[in-house]
Structure 1
Amino acid sequence: MVDFEVVSLPATDHVAEGDRAPDFTRPLVNAEFWEDASLSDLTADGPVCLVFFPMNGSFPATYIWKELRDRELDDHLTVVGVSVSTPYAHKRLIEDREMDFELFSDPANGVAEAYGVTHDLDGMAGVSEARPATFLIDGDRTVRYAWVAAEWPDFPPYDDLEREIRALAD
């Protein structure tokens, strides 16, 4: 039995396929350290799958990263996450889940706002996080594929995402 309520999220005017992905600079965390990096730094090396996810510790965050890790999608392009969690929390998540992915820390949720994927948390005035969303971005920062959650919780269509990643990487 499901012990949480599925909630429809309001429509959002998010970044869409064909749009230029907004650039940003935030701390980029890996298992060893973090340093400021920009999306354009990453796309200069090739396509990027930008994954917005709820704060670390939530079951959607754990499930999303487990699924992406198991599919080995980072063999085809750079897969990187964005959430409101701090660099310290990201480092723990990476270590605990034995992830090879890097994660942008965006505590003020400004990147999610720029992409149109914010989710206001019920009963917490002024507190928001990113709703689950994935964007495949080419080397010119053109969005080639976009998926944004329409309900809470919702998860990326992993088979579709994998197919699009393989097509973009070829």
Structure 2
Amino acid sequence: MPEFDVVELGPADHPEPGEEAPEFTRPFVTDEFWEDRTLSDLVGDGESRTILVFTPMTGSFLAKYVWDELEERNWDERADRVVGVTASTPYGVKRFLEDNDYPFAFFADPGNRVAESYGIDHDLDGMTGISEPRVAFFALGDDRTVEGTWVATDWPDFPDYDALEAELGLE
């Protein structure tokens, strides 16, 4: 197993339950196509709840671990909609979906601006100007109101998935 240091990320300034999630427009990538979509268009299309899952770039072990866990737990069947947000390009996301056959779609955010607007970005050690999102989960109502959250405080950090499912209403 690779060795790495656990890094404390410090406090995050993310939206809390009851607050409105920041709006954004980014390429929305599925296993078939991609196109620019706004968050409002996605959450306001009649589904009652959307869960945004922020992970680092799709080639990272953190992203793979999180999405494998969500697929194994059948989140695609238990939630109205589960959507990833990653600091990868649409091409990278498309490859990730093809390689893993996940039933999820992703917003591609290679500039990491969405994570910045959610207050969950962190700089990568030793890489000036390069950042990625923390692992984070936001349950959103159809009006973009945050209904539940979990945000990593360390790198790497993963939630207690049973507790997370209770927090996000997936019990």
TM-score range (shorter-chain normalised) is over 0.9
Aligned positions of 1:18-57 closer than 5 A: 18-44=18-44, 45-46=46-47, 47-57=49-59
Equivalent position SS for 1:51: strand
Deviations 1:69-123 (A, max 9, x none): 1111122210000011000110111111110100100111110011000010000
The range that moved more, 39-48 or 19-28, is 39-48
CA distance in 2, matches of 1:167, 1:67: 14
Q: Which amino acid aligns with 1:90?
A: V
Q: Which amino acid aligns with 2:122?
A: H
CA distance in 1, matches of 2:60, 2:147: 28
Normalising by structure 2, report the TM-score: 0.93
- Uncovered stretches (5+) of structure 1, i.e. residues with no partner: none
Match of 2:61 among 39, 49, 59: 59
Query: 4+ runs of 1 displaced by more than 4 Å?
Result: none
Q: Which amino acid aligns with 2:120?
A: V
CA distance in 1, matches of 2:168, 2:151: 16
2:92 corresponds in structure 1 to 89
Normalising by structure 1, report the TM-score: 0.93
Assess if the C-alpha contact under 8 Å between 1:73 and 1:162 holds in 2: no
Q: Does 1:100 align with 2:91?
A: no
Structure 1 residue 10, shift from structure 2 partner: 1.5
- Uncovered stretches (5+) of structure 2, i.e. residues with no partner: none
Structure 1 residue 165, shift from structure 2 partner: 3.8
Structure 1 residue 167, shift from structure 2 partner: 5.5
RMSD of aligned residue pairs (Cα, Å):
1.5
Equivalent position SS for 1:35: strand
- Count of aligned positions: 168
CA distance in 1, matches of 2:90, 2:106: 8
Q: Which amino acid aligns with 1:151?
A: D
2:139 corresponds in structure 1 to 136
> Kindly, what percent of the aligned residue pairs are identical?
54
Assess if the C-alpha contact under 8 Å between 2:19 and 2:145 holds in 1: yes
Equivalent position SS for 1:63: helix
CA distance in 2, matches of 1:70, 1:163: 17
